Structure 1
């Protein structure tokens, strides 16, 4: 699988730019559904097997499941539907050249990060698909990041337009994804375990590709099949903390205790869930590849959060400090999901904003190269996965009159890196474990 790298990189010293891109490609391949699903199939139940799912990886997960099912248990029935982001439906060839198109599992597409009418239609159809199942039936839920927006069904009394407005306000506020999804769950008729509850008494098996820091399964895509650990009061507190005004209908919904199924609910006793891939796995694959090339690796963690530009600046200072007395190349890796507080009307996502903060902190320091991508191939709502830069880009930017501080002030990191031809554009990767950030620190020239 070769998403990022057009050619094999010779090494970090000879070709740091190509080497970093290949490293990211290795990381993404390690968390792709084609790598994860074939060896995990459950025994077919006595009754029906119904697949439901939502997220940026949902279509690829469905295709991998269907291929494996056809090979391993071809006579067992399989049906269902999943929803993914526009353009993320699986077509063409898989990793080994197999036809990736789903034939028994229907693939729908809807809007992300803002839900649309098709998001609501997908949610209603999924609830209908699991209604009236019995104890001998099995539901396989394929859940990945992005599912919250892609499968949206407002709670009674709340309109889709109100949910869209609240979602937009939370995204612009810089609220962490954990808080955003808490609000989404308590304004929903399908999230927070409600889809799982609707499927009972059938057994529900949930497979997840996690994009949330900390990898709490119930938080991925707002946990449509898993019991909740938060309350409507938590959602109200988040809205108040970020000064987001809501209608009386929304407040009535939350104050009216629209409580999701809670942990310990007896209806979930037969259910099971497993996280198939997470940020840690992508970082581990990158670390192993770097160490194979003789590079020392410093792993900062897979769950870093905070303001994107400030994390970039902090890691820039760290890289400069690490370079003092450095004799061998060093790779600094990190993952997680940062936030962007929107103050301007520019273009960009959290990865390019992180990189621009890092770029400003380094100011062209010799021997330091960096890459940051969203592993789903889409940084925010733009067409790029992220970007990368080299030390010489500082002089190029100054020559072209590109001031990183000015571009940060209006959240326009996309335009900055576009002007330097440093954007990484991959198209949808059809997986999603959040951000992959790599800083390659080479020893200074004597």
Structure 2
């Protein structure tokens, strides 16, 4: 990636740009797969098949193809691209709400794995977005779409969404593992806080630790009246950790948010910054997290020597109240604008590691102590834009939208708190 893509009206310091670039380079999907396989060669098998699922499926599968003689590969992703190896089918699914393309992909995946033999090896390359991109629901697709949209709108956490998805889908919650007789190695790029394997892409090759009662609790929490409730009550139980099918399954995390955050901090130290890791477990309402991290930056500016760089990771949610356009990273940044108003030489940067924050072409945004005054001068009121959930328009007008394009990776989000 060209590092100059990170530049905005307020972000012109190439030292900071190099820190952002280092974070994404560390979780390059192909490099992550290659690192693992060079240290852990594939076991012997009559034939090797690859199933790539998620936003990073193409580079992960390409890396495998460079190290193994693949009999056949199926890739299910968001942005299909040309691949440089043979015997591969690439399919696009729908995201963030599953659609007809996702349904076709899910059924193709089940067909793909169901014919494999016990002496074959299935390598699954799993990354974020897989929950929506691949589906074979036991309810009507329209019902699943409505449920997904409703959960997104009310700010449900990804783990809560996946608790429901695993119970309503034949490819999730260990369903893919149950559909084949072949041993499975799943190499996983985590987009879920804490990296629970059952939550990433809704765990197609992982046991489901939740129960139907857990799913019902989620529906009741958000007061969702939906026909899927009766289906959940009557559906077959998903496979659990003690199920014998998992004796032939190995799930391995090859990259996650913490890896990206720590790589950023290493680069920041090289650039002369004092560093601090704030953890990769940040969750909750984006605007509340924005206030909290903004206050952390204010405190650091008062107490730390400059330059400093603090990095936080995780994934927030947005409860939609208005009709504007934005994403969780831009909303987090917008909430911090009043908090940082008037401070000198500070910067808060939000970054969706997949390059796409919500339904926008921005990955995040940049906020400085001057952002508030600049907005007022331009006739922009941050609180009004926040109330409308219109963070994209705010930062676009301010010239501080972070537009880097799809990155090919996905390990949640990062927030950089910088003092210069």
Is TM-score (shorter-chain normalized) higher than 0.5?
Answer: yes
Matches within 5 A, 1:296-307: 296-307=274-285
> 1:159, 1:415 → 2: CA distance?
36
Contact 1:16 1:369 in 2 (8 A): no
Partner of 1:182: 163
Q: Which residue of 1 aligns with 2:20?
A: 24
Structure 1 pair 165–6 and aligned structure 2 pair: CA distance change class (3 A): closer
Is the contact made by 2:349 and 2:366 (CA closer than 8 Å) also made in structure 1?
A: yes
Q: What is the aligned partner in structure 2 of residue 244 from structure 1? A: 224
Deviating runs (4+, > 6 A) in structure 1? none
Q: Which residue, 168, 173, 178 being the options, matches 1:197?
A: 178
Offset from partner CA, 1:216-253 (integer Å, 9 cap, x none) = 11110100111110012111110111011101xx2222
What TM-score comes out, normalization by structure 2 length? Answer: 0.95
Conserved 8 A contact 1:17-1:390? no
Contact map agreement 2:155 2:320 (CA 8 A) in 1: yes
- Deviations along 1:40-64, whole A, 9 cap, x unmatched? 3443643221211311111121122
Distance 1:191 1:350, change over 3 A: same
Whether the 8 Å CA contact 1:370–1:438 is kept in 2: the answer is yes
Distance 1:393 1:341, change over 3 A: same
Q: How many residues align?
A: 416
Selected match of 1:40 from 28, 36, 39 = 36
Contact 2:283 2:316 in 1 (8 A): yes
User: For the structure 1 residues 269 and 289, does the alpha-carbon distance in structure 2 shift closer, same or farther, using more than 3 Å as the test?
Assistant: same
Deviation for aligned residue 1:128? 0.4
Aligned-partner Cα distance in 2 for 1:337–1:139 = 30
Shift of 1:39: 4.0
Larger mean Cα displacement after TM superposition, 390-399 or 41-50: 41-50
Matches within 5 A, 1:4-403: 4-6=3-5, 17-41=13-37, 42-43=41-42, 45-69=44-68, 76-85=69-78, 88-91=79-82, 101-155=84-138, 158-200=139-181, 202-247=182-227, 250-403=228-381
What residue ranges of structure 1 are gaps of 5+ in the alignment? 9-13, 70-75, 92-99
Q: Using structure 1 for the length normalisation, give the TM-score.
A: 0.89
RMSD: 1.9
1:94 corresponds to: none
Give ranges in structure 2 of 5+ residues lacking alignment.
none
Tell me, yes or no, if the aligned pair for 2:50 and 2:70 is still in contact at 8 Å. Answer: no
Which range moves more in the overlay, 395-404 or 117-126? 395-404
- SS for the counterpart of 2:194 is coil
Q: Deviations over 1:257-279 (max 9, x none)?
A: 43111101112102111100000
2:6 and 2:160 map into 1 onto residues whose CA distance is 41
CA contact (8 A) 2:346 2:368 kept: yes
Q: CA deviation at 1:438?
A: 0.2
Q: Which moved more, 1:178-187 or 1:385-394?
A: 385-394
2-structure distance, mates of 1:343, 1:354: 15
**What is the alpha-carbon distance in structure 2 between the residues aligned to residue 301 and residue 39 of structure 1?**
24
Q: Secondary structure at the match of 2:34?
A: coil
